[in-house]
Chains A and B, each alone.
Chain A
């Protein structure tokens, strides 16, 4: 188990270093001079050169990489060219929206998907299965912003239970902040739940054909007990894999939903930074997401080992 853990950890760290090099290199190759951008088109070449020196843009490539990577380690991401504030402040502010949103959406998607998958798998081929999988198919096909608009119409405009958009900030209290995240979380969760339910169902159906399910039935366990005690845990591996992927998507791939609900999230930050060529912000957020994805994968790998004893004893 320790060997497995250490190996996974080493792989995660190596991936992180490699990814930081790629991110740094790509942004180096991209055309556009940040100093020129900050000073505007009317600045003289001398002024640009001065700023380039100040920003350290003229130092050798390796030195600049080390400086940048060292900064990342001490959470010093540099200053945004356009906002002229430390990037870390921007990111912290946006994460306060995006992270809770992603977590709520993920939790919702799991809570919806696993029972639906269990139900469908246990009534395979019957009406209940056909209907719930039909609904899931619809959930996969319909884009989440459409759900978002429908949710706004019903819960915000019609029932007036929650605000239609905007984010009051956590300083306004936990409940108002949570309330404004509720609809976007549901809109994000529904398509994810649809995918997850289908994965859960097919994983379970495969497991239900295994010999050890028959052994469990021959012990006298009723079908439902077999499903919960024997099938579900074995079906967890594909489900955990999808959950890991979904978390990464929910953290940064939510730009459309953030726009629909006017949420100041990470997705919008990246989008704005790209259009304004605020490369240092782009770099930092991309690195942050890379780190998050790697961390989630690490957690997923470790949970495989918790679920499956065979992984614990292998390396």
Chain B
């Protein structure tokens, strides 16, 4: 892909971000619920004190003015102060982001390493018992609610078997100096294998819970596309040539069968970020998803706006990545 195309795609981001900003701003502003009232809670307050709080949060200004102030500051990388944390929104999000990314990546790995072999196996043993179990299993995987499945895992592995912890990212004796803020990487970089295992034990259950629906979807995509590829003439030809079945499947069929899997995986990674909100709550995972949900309920406008913008950018970039991967895997397609 040429540099020109890359720049073109990046320029396309601008109207997307403007549109998303406007929609989120208007939606938040029009949603019933007053941040000042929520903040005051159940207390007696004088009208003057209430007005002072409104002024301090910048909510005394008209909506249109607030929007342009937000845009003007956002362009300079200033997303304002979180109403509740009383610190720059950017800092608050940056603190939570590594946990979310780490969890999403591990969930993605879990999904890829389980879905592809299962999908291939289901395809080459089409209509076998295994295929049927896998199909029913994938249906369950898509339909099981994350919060329910997560709690089920907790009850089994943490409460009954006592082999995995209930919540958090790492134990309290395993303190490490952060480098990338992704604990699985940092613990290894610092040579703390014990801490790495500790972090791993914390991430397993949330990653499985988060990765499960994706595993199910990818398995079905892989199975379908594998079945399609196996019907192609070149596969029949390879088999006719007398190549071993293993060689036909792995050398010839799989490479082409994986093209749709990879693009779906890239797009689904975006939805992992959304699925995080529930999984992070169940497992007390200190990520961005939980923060955004809390902020929506509290009408913490600046934080929600910045976080949604971040989600939008991530989605667009992941779609872009999917397109690039597609051209790499299938050189006949050009962007």
Judge: A and B partners, yes or no.
no
Chain A interface (Cβ within 8 Å of chain B)?
A: none
